[in-house]
Chain A
Amino acid sequence: MKILDRNSVDLFFDALKRQGFALVGPTIPDSAIVYDEIGSSADLPVGWTDEQDGGTYRLKKRDDEALFGYVVGPQSWKKFLHPPSLRLWTAHREGKGFKIIPEQDDPPKLAYIGVRSCELHAIAIQDKVFIGGPFLDSSYGLRRENVFIVAVNCGQAGGTCFCVSMKTGPKATAGFDLALTEIIEPGRHYFTVETGTGRGEEVLRDLPYTEATEADPATVERIVEKTVSQMGRTLDTTDIKNLLYQNLEHPRWDQVATRCLSCANCTMVCPTCFCSTVEDVTDLSGEHAERWRKWDSCFTSDFSFVHGGTVRPSVKSRYRQWMTHKLATWIDQFGTSGCVGCGRCITWCPVAIDITEEVRAIRETKK
């Protein structure tokens, strides 16, 4: 473990840039913290924090100058790895036939600054979907290869966080190049740095770091412990797969359907939801065609459309698909839960539907 002073953060960023990475990280263009290009530590939400609960999110000023003193916002890193809309290929007529031209995909090298532990797990989960099976999604694969991950251990938990329940946080344990813990003491503002990869170590090499003292790991542990104790939500995952498999006809689904808007916000903000649709488009001449991929959601009626109608016409069945997929069928499909406990789906649901609450309700009255 090494120590990097607050004042060296920009040197650190510059070192990443020298390695050819553009930086993306948390920033406040508007009324929430979102991931976007950043140039220096000044672009981070310095001194800001967020207050989150079901259906509400508010930015608040902190009484210190913390760089990472907040939790996760509405966006996740999937917006870079699995872009919301992407052209897959173009085609044009040629004689009696046509020719398909694959998209020249040349994603930039990006350093993700401030990836939380739950998000590391989310990335690992999407890795399984897109590059872990018999088929490889080349657009994801190319983007994934080009990423340098700077994780941050959470110094506080949000009102809708439940990573402890999902065993995905708050401390980053794997999947990063470097992991930081922000420590603010009277008169001192610094970061502990753990290296996860050789690449990470290399970036550190030229920086004015010091070696950690014996006390530092303990400080980190203390911070993490404090965060654990603040978790806004809990979700009991005991035998959750069978719980949901056996309660596909539970009356709770009808109940949640009276509140659910099927607006799809939960799936859009979810860092593991991977679903997409494709759109075939043509120009007016009819000589050129393109295929685009766009994020899609199991909350729409088109999602399950087959000739003659949609398979899931009711909101009840759509909510059930979302929740059983996240927490149960995902386990059969990919060997892990599809939920990392980041709480986004709770915060960003306009009517504050809470997945932890829904599980509790079913568990309490299960078949």
Chain B
Amino acid sequence: MGKRRKPKLAVWKFASCDGCQLSLLNCVDELPALAERVEIAHFLEASSAVMKGPYDLSLVEGSITTPRDLERILQVRRVSKFLVTIGACATAGGIQALRNFKDVKEFVSIVYARPDYIETLETSTPIADHVPVDFELHGCPIDKRQLLEVIGAFLIGRRPNVPSHSVCIECKLKGTVCVMVAHGTPCLGPVTHAGCGAICPSYHRGCYGCFGPKETPNTASLSREWSRLGASEQEILNVFRGVNANAEAFRKESDLHARRND
């Protein structure tokens, strides 16, 4: 084993908050073992040392929001053998994709006194809209155990155990009492991708969808239930327009409510 060339790991950042990269640095107990197994070849947040590509495993954080990044992601893809996108920004466009529903020029002028200096795209889009992606890890932020799982699976060549079912299953595996049924608190868990470990319900709040849509999400049915529990159209619109606003299932559902709100 020892003689084998260590795979090179690279971490890339696009428009994001750095939280997903930080998840890697939060793997305190596992980092020594990881540094044994891989060459941390490009990870600007943590190291000034940069090794040349190609990289065996690239972790890409952030969404595409500028013309410069449009070019940079192509370059990253070219030097990456296996490319994993991490986090809601990279997999769905992130919270900054809320601009996709508005006129971006207006956004710029709200924030910046000299809008003409700002070079930005009309939209914030996920990496997979621009280059082929080998695996997507969801979450805002990603869960560090899942990140380790993906890296571990990559190293040995297996499928990562990252199920795409609902958060509800995680609630039940943990023994958390359903907040929707037992408190009447609206919860996005039934349409949200598992992975966080059902954190919000165990803190007595409804899930707000930070892991994005699960497979086959029935957002329409859940919206109906939310209104039955007293949520306003505005609240329903807003919850689908969160950190995964641009994920297809959430976007479609929110568009419906936006139209109803008008």
Using CB atoms and an 8 Å cutoff, list the residues of chain A in contact with chain B.
Answer: 30-32, 34, 55-59, 74-75, 79, 84-85, 258-265, 268-269, 279-286, 294-295, 297, 299-302, 313-315, 347-348, 350-351
Contact = CB atoms under 8 A, between A and B. Distances in A.
B102 interface: no
A300 B215 CA distance: 8
A269 B149 CA distance: 28
Contacts of B36: 284-285
B177 A259 contact: no
B166 A264 contact: yes
A264 B181 contact: no
Contact of A284 (B152, B177, B190, B224): B152
B221 A57 contact: no
25 contacts: A30-B177, A55-B180, A55-B181, A55-B225, A56-B181, A57-B181, A74-B172, A74-B177, A75-B175, A84-B174, A258-B220, A258-B221, A261-B190, A263-B168, A264-B168, A264-B172, A265-B168, A281-B161, A284-B148, A284-B151, A297-B165, A297-B169, A301-B164, A350-B181, A351-B190
B216 interface: yes
B25 to A, nearest CB: 15
B177 A283 contact: no
Looking at B181, B191, B221, B222, the one whose CB has the most chain A CB atoms below 10 A away is B181
A261 B222 contact: yes
A295 to B, nearest CB: 6
Contacts of B169: 263-264, 268, 295, 297, 300
Nearest to A286: B156
Interface residues of B, number: 46
Contacts of A280: 158, 161
Contacts of B34: 284
Contacts of A85: 173
A284 B40 CA distance: 14
A294 to B, nearest CB: 7
Contacts of A74: 172, 177-178, 181-182
A351 B218 CA distance: 11
A56 B221 contact: no
Contact of B33 (A34, A55, A283): A283
B177 A34 contact: yes
Contacts, number: 138
B199 to A, nearest CB: 15
Contacts of A295: 169, 172-173
Contacts of A261: 166, 168, 190-191, 217-218, 221-222
B214 to A, nearest CB: 8
A294 B184 contact: no
Contacts of B184: 56
B155 interface: yes
A285 B37 contact: yes
B247 interface: no
A265 B218 contact: no
Contact of B190 (A31, A283, A347, A350): A350
Q: Which 3 A-B pairs have the closest CB atoms?
A: A268-B172, A263-B190, A261-B190
A318 to B, nearest CB: 8
Contacts of B224: 351
Nearest to A75: B175
Contacts of B151: 284
A260 B221 contact: yes
B212 interface: no
Interface string B189-222: 1110000000000000000000000011110111
Given A74-B178, A261-B221, A351-B222, 18 more contacts: A30-B177, A55-B181, A57-B182, A59-B182, A75-B175, A265-B168, A279-B161, A281-B152, A282-B153, A282-B155, A284-B155, A286-B156, A295-B169, A295-B173, A297-B169, A302-B165, A351-B221, A351-B224
Contact of B30 (A34, A79, A284, A297): A284
A135 B163 CA distance: 28
B218 A262 contact: yes
Contacts of A262: 166, 216, 218
A269 B1 CA distance: 45
A260 B183 contact: no
Contacts of B37: 284-286
Contact of B164 (A55, A294, A302): A302
A320 to B, nearest CB: 14
A300 B165 contact: yes
A206 B181 CA distance: 43
